[in-house]
Amino acid sequence: MIESFSLPPEAAEPHLRVPRRALDLLKSVPALAPRYAGHEKVLTLEDLAALPPLVKDDLNVALAHLRPAAEHGATWLFQSGGSTGAPKVGYAPTGFYMDGVHAHWQPLERDDVFVNAWGAGRMWGAHFLAAAFADLSGCQVIALGSVTKDEYGDWLGFCADREVTAFGGTPSVLRLWFAHAREHGIRLPALRKVLWLGEAWHPQLDEDLAEVAPDARRWGMFGSTETWVAGTNTPRCPADVFHLLPDQLVHLDADGLMDFTTLNPDMLNPVLRYRTGDAGEFTACPCGRPGRTLRVLGRRDSVVQVRGLGLHVDDLLARAEREPGVTRAQVVVTQRRGRVATVDVLLLTGQDAPPGLAEGLRRELMSATFTLSTAFQHDPESFRVVTADALISNERTGKTAGLVVRDEP
Q: Which of these ranges, 30-38, 237-245, 276-284, 317-325, lies near Zn ion under the rule CB under 5 A?
A: 237-245
Among 213, 237, 249, 311, binds Zn ion (CB under 5 A): 237
Bridge-based pairing state of the strands 339-349 and 326-336: antiparallel
Q: Which of residues 170-189 bind Zn ion (CB under 5 A)?
A: none
Task: With residue 88 as reference, give the H or E element that holds it.
Answer: none
Determine, following the binding rule CB under 5 A, whether residue 18 of this chain makes contact with Zn ion.
no
Of 104 and 182, nearer to Zn ion (C-beta) is 104
CA trace torsion 57, 60, 65, 69 (10° rounding): 160
Nearest to 195 by CA among 228, 155, 156, 222: 222
C-beta neighbour count of 332 within 10 angstroms = 18
Q: Least distance to Zn ion from the beta carbon of 233, Å?
A: 6
Close Cβ partners of 156 (under 8 Å, ≥ 6 residues apart)? 177, 180, 181, 184, 186, 188
User: What is the Cα–Cα distance from 169 to 127, expressed in whole angstroms?
Assistant: 8
Q: Which of these ranges, 166-174, 245-253, 283-291, 302-310, lies near Zn ion under the rule CB under 5 A?
A: 283-291
Length of the chain in residues, anyone?
409
Among 59, 98, 164, 285, binds Zn ion (CB under 5 A): 285
Determine, following the binding rule CB under 5 A, whether residue 287 of this chain makes contact with Zn ion.
yes
Q: Least distance to Zn ion from the beta carbon of 173, Å?
A: 25
User: What is the Cα–Cα distance from 180 to 172, expressed in whole angstroms?
Assistant: 13
Determine, following the binding rule CB under 5 A, whether residue 282 of this chain makes contact with Zn ion.
no
Of 234 and 264, nearer to Zn ion (C-beta) is 234
User: What is the Cα–Cα distance from 56 to 88, expressed in whole angstroms?
Assistant: 9
Of 169 and 231, nearer to Zn ion (C-beta) is 231
Q: Least distance to Zn ion from the beta carbon of 368, Å?
A: 39
Of 186 and 195, nearer to Zn ion (C-beta) is 195
Can you give the binding site for Zn ion, defined by CB under 5 A? Answer: 237, 285, 287
